[in-house]
Structure 1
């Protein structure tokens, strides 16, 4: 149902009154004269920081043309930039995007007396110079930050870091009235003038009364200065355009277009608005009517257990408190069997939870109904509320069944429902512990179909005893892996906010690995640097190394030959997908690692950590965390978005950040991995045809391959203890041709895998669908039907379509 937003709420009345006063004053104020148009080519330059220089290049005779500016250091050419940044000319002509910015290396700058600029390839261009010894930085000209519309009522961007270290404050104004503010307490990798820096990032959510379908412009400031991109235009609807059109009978035929708009411009609210969001979309339900009662068992002390049994929605069901037996999550298996064969004999579903857990009204019935409606399912779980020491709660919105995550993290295993037969079978095998019982279907041959995720908050967990739960989780993981004949070392992760462990499998014989170093777009110096950092991987026969290069230097070729490193030359016009597929076909190792020449290992055991995941035959591919030299996370798995887009997860975080729900502390499954570092079985890779060079010659081939692996039942794992760092901060600039190729790849991916992109199994449908994953709550949320992590085969797309 579409939310009815008042047309003139109290704050709206104040703003309207402010507008009338402003208009009345404007009618009595003499009009300003139109600025005199400037004549001739305009070129300026100024110093805006210790090593930053900015200016404007504008041609009044061709106001829409973007000029190329050449940097001169003591008269010698040193760089080029396109004048396309926002910097309005005094005449008001053009669109104001005529600014440019250069950043010069401080080690170079100390030896330079004059810095100048000129228009490239124009002999008649004037030269503007600065005397570096006398020109002090004009900090006022430094861009304070940038803002952009992210869809719905969400604005996002960055601001300069505060020298005091405090998060900068960003404010939004409508008609002179402040209507919203936010602290820039995240991070963003910013590229300006050919250099990169880490700046404070923010997400600002506007008031919901503005979601009335009217287009508006909002001014966004930091202090007294407006951010670049301000005023920013936006358009939002109460529950999305699709719902708005569906509520109007004369426009119902347009709902498909509304759905596309909502996918392209998704709305969201911050986590701090959880209570409002929860009441709006998840009012307390009675839950589905069940034909037979539930059996409910709480594991833990008697008083806390009775609190769980008294939860709303559990009254009228058959309950039992299972006393702890050797640990906070352990119980006597015989007690459970006697309960299910006695008082719970007529109950088809058992609900199990740690004592002190409080179920929400109707939540247990929803889990039970999902199990009863699905013959293949054995266990169902929902999302959680985590209680803090101060009584506050935080939503933990979980993915579809993620075997890797739920083995290394105690979250879903603290409260779930399972079928009576599954519980009795596991108890008679001696499984008498919550975490292991949650994973028990895997020990008896159950696959991806055994677990169902039912989106929506199911229960509230009490304050957790992390030391005790960490030990319990470690013991349960070891017993679970031993039952599957997998040897492993297990260590707890005390820094996490949820029970968490690190599992390192012991391989009987390490598989042979070949690292395919893709240097086709790199320089000889890049190859040399990469080989030095990868030498540790070659020692002791840990891995073979192959360099893929385009037109390699003969000296480099001889050096590689002497070092025993193979060199695969690639044709100048051979695309990314074709050259890597051909290279993999020429080696014979069990595992191949595609590695970009611009990456450097951060630690000696990165490859061992990734390779150990292949002790499980169902592992399809493994990727690391990739960071920038400044410490910002560049890639930690990909989140699939509608229309074929894949967004790097946690790109607004620094290394060491735990991520939402400790996602950066534990291994987890993802829907797709990035192309810069990808380890997988050569047989799987070639069996699937490698990277599809026909459909995805340059972009998207790695995503298509990852989804094909998933469709085969393979798991894609992000290994957080394997970390690599980019060798430099040079921004990646796409040419117009590359942009068109990438956009076509996105269309093809969505055509082949529409269900995978519409609902990323390893991301919650309740989370923000915008450009920054894990940054808020979707408004409205996605579908909350029970779901699995399995994936259907791709749809056929004819070549050339």
Structure 2
């Protein structure tokens, strides 16, 4: 049997085809082989007889699904460039390599008829256990979606999130949705879920078969040695909207500890009675709670009275919080237990809950200590504890706000991040407070800490939703940089990329190196010749495409102190992104800096990399659009993460060479950036994602031919960094490991004991494994 796209002598009447213009630039169609419904065909798109692109007819088509033709997935769609529309006369589709016409050619000069509805109205897929996700195409008239299980209506939902579909030239933002079924469907039996839109149309993938079983503790899973499929069938996530149920199901039960006295310092007066009532419910019996009035701004106070009280109090630990904080009964016992469990711990902070306007409770699941996020958001300073000696020392030094009390421990660069301990799981519910009013105190505290560490910086107000926010801009040291752009063919992409980043290079000691891998098309060869030794240095490398090898080759000949890796699909939006990244890498303990990348559709493409999903790595916030604050305001605050993408990554050349650059053998195409960042973290370096450097990145879709290589690289990542993948310090164990991070709670949570931000260690895998 010939493969799809090969010549086929069979008569054309065996094909059922259609080709329509469904929008000004949008065209769609389908091809069904009546003699073999399993076949999918490659389609040539031609304009005025000239080949334009090749597509694969495998999209869902509602018309065919309704007619019960196979699985309904025989469609294709594409957008024509506006210039092609203006200059072309006829567009047609044909079976690749056979010439068989698909539908009828379409004359471009004809006026548009009433538009056909897009053949793909949306899609739904099983995310594991009781969670499903999907999208709908119609943004203007999006109504409720009916969700049926085994033919019975279970619930209705709306597409309230965002997703991205299509390739770079057909990119568009669509409305996304999540569905969580009731627990009664986790019964170990096979079910079928259907999602029907407001027009009565089934979404692609519907109906979808699924099977879920009741929750099993992770300890039992490890003992049973369950397969990936078995793990997928257990409840893995839970919606944030049902957090109260989750919290009751998975309480954080502390171990018994010695009852050492705790002073709970409450700043402010509003809500005093509520805070005191919650403290009377504590499992830990030995505490006292003085209240002190606020100073000139929110979260500020006069340090003198607080210092006098603590000097006269016989206590081991001091908890600081805003008046009105409602402590959970186990809060103080968990804090004392964390100090007892980790010798040398100087500070402990924990997760907290916030209340919605309707009184509902929502979790703020925090990371292990994140210095960069502390500076820009003060996330850990609203509820924390210090050893008594450290509290007295900070107050004696004049600390007059919660933010300065906390960050004064880090005034000395020799202070260790792992001395600060995070407790996953809520300790309390915070009172509502004016984040804008707290912003001046945060800015002053952050600048004071940076000044003490010898770093010159400014702090400007930033807008966020849940936390006070400032943007820290460090003075850029006099450094040279080399921008490395690995490429092969596609002169149009490369030229757009180079022209967009050039303004950031003017007036700076910046060079551009284009690492070319056997480009062969005439346009690219001409462009490379045009820019070589003028706009950029062109480095030619032969052999199979190996992105890691291309970057390594360029790094060896680079003249810059800094290296900035830029994918040719990236386009800069302004001329300030490079200085922002150089300011972050100016901190001596920062190993790599990544930028916020968004697609032309407006959907976020990269907001940092989270370890763990799929026992691998996933890009954060691909369910959000540009301008969204992100979970816990992470899309507006610079923060640390375990890795950032090499699509736009800055690092020191000295660090790059010290760790051996990118791994050309184990990670030639994928995960070389994750591996590189983890190697830096193993040296004690921090990895920073800054949303203040924002660029466009329309990453191409992965071809099927790369799938085996991708699987091999993923296995290499699991082998080398498996212990790190299991416990990302910057991702909370109470958050799910679904494909889209920060979108749900984990069911059940992973280890919820005290944790620090410690450098990871790789497994020493010998060559050949």
Alignment check: 8 A CA contact 1:505 1:612 kept? yes
Residues 451 and 168 (structure 1 numbering): CA distance in 2 closer, same or farther, change over 3 Å? farther
**Structure 2 CA distance, aligned partners of 1:530 and 1:115?**
29
Unaligned runs of 5+ in 2: 1-11
Deviation, structure 1 residue 531: 2.8
1:581 aligns with 2:552: yes
1:410 is matched with 378
Q: Which of 61, 86, 96 lines up with 2:60 in the alignment?
A: 86
Deviation, structure 1 residue 265: 7.0
Deviation, structure 1 residue 349: 1.6
1:291 is matched with 259
Deviation, structure 1 residue 758: 1.0
**Structure 2 CA distance, aligned partners of 1:150 and 1:471?**
43
Alignment check: 8 A CA contact 1:118 1:128 kept? no
Residues 424 and 124 (structure 1 numbering): CA distance in 2 closer, same or farther, change over 3 Å? closer
2:448 is matched with 479
Q: Which of 167, 171, 179 lines up with 1:204 in the alignment?
A: 179
1:525 aligns with 2:525: no
**Structure 1 CA distance, aligned partners of 2:490 and 2:205?**
37
Q: TM-score, normalised by structure 2?
A: 0.91
**Structure 2 CA distance, aligned partners of 1:310 and 1:482?**
40
3-state SS in 2 of match to 1:449? helix
2:5 is matched with none
1:195 is matched with 170
**Cα-to-partner distance string for 1:14-47 (whole Å, 9 max, x where unaligned):** xxxxxxxxxxxxxxxxxxxxxxxx9723333334
**Structure 2 CA distance, aligned partners of 1:382 and 1:194?**
45
1:617 aligns with 2:594: no
Q: Which of 324, 347, 358 lines up with 1:379 in the alignment?
A: 347
Aligned pairs, number = 746
The farther-off stretch of 734-743 and 690-699 is 734-743
Q: Which of 220, 224, 228 lines up with 2:195 in the alignment?
A: 220
Q: TM-score, normalised by structure 1?
A: 0.87
Alignment check: 8 A CA contact 2:31 2:75 kept? yes
1:234 is matched with 210
1:151 aligns with 2:120: no
Deviation, structure 1 residue 429: 2.8
1:567 is matched with 538
Q: Which of 730, 744, 750 lines up with 2:712 in the alignment?
A: 744
Alignment check: 8 A CA contact 2:369 2:418 kept? no
Residues 91 and 280 (structure 1 numbering): CA distance in 2 closer, same or farther, change over 3 Å? closer
The farther-off stretch of 331-340 and 670-679 is 331-340
1:30 is matched with none
Deviation, structure 1 residue 457: 0.6
3-state SS in 1 of match to 2:428? strand
1:544 is matched with 511
2:287 is matched with 317
2:682 is matched with 711
Alignment check: 8 A CA contact 1:242 1:256 kept? no
1:455 is matched with 424
2:466 is matched with 497
2:574 is matched with 603
2:664 is matched with 693
Alignment check: 8 A CA contact 1:309 1:315 kept? no
Residues 543 and 126 (structure 1 numbering): CA distance in 2 closer, same or farther, change over 3 Å? closer
Query: How is 1:273-422 mapped onto 2 (pairs within 5 angstroms)?
Result: 273-282=242-251, 288-301=256-269, 304-305=271-272, 307-311=274-278, 312-313=281-282, 316-342=286-312, 344-345=313-314, 347-389=315-357, 391-422=359-390
Alignment check: 8 A CA contact 2:266 2:321 kept? yes
**Structure 2 CA distance, aligned partners of 1:296 and 1:326?**
22
Residues 330 and 106 (structure 1 numbering): CA distance in 2 closer, same or farther, change over 3 Å? closer
Residues 316 and 506 (structure 1 numbering): CA distance in 2 closer, same or farther, change over 3 Å? same
1:169 aligns with 2:144: yes
3-state SS in 2 of match to 1:139? coil
Deviation, structure 1 residue 204: 1.1
Unaligned runs of 5+ in 1: 1-37, 247-251
1:469 is matched with 438
**Structure 2 CA distance, aligned partners of 1:719 and 1:126?**
48
**Cα-to-partner distance string for 1:345-375 (whole Å, 9 max, x where unaligned):** 1x22211112221111111210111111211
2:633 is matched with 662
Residues 794 and 264 (structure 1 numbering): CA distance in 2 closer, same or farther, change over 3 Å? farther
1:98 aligns with 2:74: yes
**Cα RMSD (Å) of the superposition?**
2.7
1:430 aligns with 2:398: yes
Deviation, structure 1 residue 432: 3.6
3-state SS in 1 of match to 2:618? strand
Residues 369 and 570 (structure 1 numbering): CA distance in 2 closer, same or farther, change over 3 Å? same
Deviation, structure 1 residue 378: 1.0
Deviation, structure 1 residue 596: 1.3
Residues 514 and 242 (structure 1 numbering): CA distance in 2 closer, same or farther, change over 3 Å? closer
